[in-house]
Structure 1
Amino acid sequence: AVKEEVMSLGGKFVEVEGATEDKAAGGYAVEQTEEFKKKQQQAINEHAAKANVVICTAQIPGKRAPLLLPTHAVESMKRGSVIIDLAASSGGNCELTKDNQTIVHQGVTVIGQSNYPAQKPLDASRMFGKNVLNFMKLIIGKQGELNLNFEDDIVKGTCITHKGEVYNERVKTIIEKN
């Protein structure tokens, strides 16, 4: 889903084969093997050196955001390049990110806003409203009846309980731990 969003906006998605995925993670990143992290780091460093803009979004719920852009990768980027780190509130994907700050390091601007959508409230409100409308269309049938298709990743990922059964894998895990 993220790859398609990036491409629909004209961006280039950096993809490394061999990633561990977990449908229960709801689109968030999951912990990866050391071998994969090395491959990923090499690919990201190569792409970052050529990029004018890098947008970082990887977060793992309840953990520090994975470090994807170390200082040496930033220093290999062209002067005037910009890094937008949307994972700033959980430590950032860029080693130089400072939460709620914009810094310049060797000519590269690193933006670490922890709640970027709040900086654009009107656009964020419209986007949120459209998302809610599309979600309602997904779960409400033509006659106004509740229509939950648990084969759909969005329905499955947003439904916590239904008819007394816990559907959300993250919630199940938390309940089982306690």
Structure 2
Amino acid sequence: DTVENLKPGSVIVDLAASTGGNCAYTENNKTIVKNGVTIMGNSDLADELPGVASTLYSNNVINFLQVLIKDGAVVLNEENDIIKSVLISKAN
């Protein structure tokens, strides 16, 4: 069995848990440990992720804008690694 061949500490996220799962040990809406392998059978995982992804993205945008804008004006500090990596054009 594949689970027995995995190293302890491995994680399986079974996205098909609500329809029986792709892993023999999957239990719908449960997280279990078998032979040191964690098997997650969260059938609502896809419903939980958009909120987390939106929060992470919005935090990244806010943090970027805080680097880019000082006292209400755009400041292109070319010494800043973040600005250097996203700067495509300068002075027209």
**TM-score when normalising by structure 2:** 0.53
Paired position in structure 1 for 2:12 = 83
* Counterpart AA for 2:28: D
CA RMSD of aligned residues (A): 1.9
Q: Pick from 31, 35, 40: which aligns with 1:102? A: 31
User: In 1, Cα distance between the equivalents of 2:21 and 2:32?
Assistant: 13
* Counterpart AA for 2:29: N
User: In 2, Cα distance between the equivalents of 1:78 and 1:124?
Assistant: 29
Alpha-carbon shift at residue 115 of structure 1 (Å) = 1.4
Q: Deviations over 1:74-123 (max 9, x none)?
A: 01110000000000000000000000000000100000011102223514
User: In 1, Cα distance between the equivalents of 2:20 and 2:46?
Assistant: 18
**TM-score when normalising by structure 1:** 0.29
User: In 2, Cα distance between the equivalents of 1:85 and 1:74?
Assistant: 12
**Percentage of pairs with the same residue:** 53
- 1:114-153 matches, cutoff 5 A: 114-123=43-52
- Which gives a bigger RCO, structure 1 or 2 (Cα 8 Å, sep 6+)? 2
For residue 80 of structure 1, give the secondary structure of its aligned residue in structure 2: coil
Paired position in structure 2 for 1:93 = 22
How many residues end up aligned between the 2 structures? Answer: 55
Alpha-carbon shift at residue 124 of structure 1 (Å) = 6.3
User: In 1, Cα distance between the equivalents of 2:34 and 2:48?
Assistant: 23
Unaligned runs of at least 5 residues, structure 2 = 56-92
Q: Is the 8 A contact 1:118 1:124 kept in 2?
A: no
User: In 2, Cα distance between the equivalents of 1:122 and 1:111?
Assistant: 19
For residue 3 of structure 2, give the secondary structure of its aligned residue in structure 1: helix
User: In 2, Cα distance between the equivalents of 1:81 and 1:100?
Assistant: 19
Paired position in structure 2 for 1:174 = none
